[in-house]
Amino acid sequence: TFPDPFPGRIRRRLTAPGFLNRYRKILRDSGSICLKTDDVDLYEFTLDLANKNKLEILDCTNDLYGSTLKDKLPPIQTHYEEKFIAAGKKICFLRFILDRDIAPLKPRIVTAMAN
């Protein structure tokens, strides 16, 4: 997928624990999740979530079209992916096995910085 990264609203991301747990209910046993994005924060958020939950990472790169991994994937690009590639942005790719429920996110304490 090439989802909206929802900066600042991580619970709305399609790779947030609530969504991943929903996907797990409809995936076959040991089904995999693929993420393609130009947003490094979304990529790192999802990679961190997979690592913290001890999910098996099958493929992982922060430069899909600069790696040999692109040859393993179908040559399908979304409108936004094409747009970001044309603008010279790197595309990140992550594929992992979703074989267990994902722990919910812990609330963050946000502190305002004084001017």
Instruction: Tell me phi and psi for residue 95, to 5 degrees.
Output: -135, 130
Catalytic (active site) residue 63: no
Catalytic residue among 4, 41, 59, 99: 4
Gyration radius of the chain's alpha carbons: 15
Residue 97: which of 23, 20, 30, 1 has the closest Cα? 30
Catalytically active residues, by annotation: 4
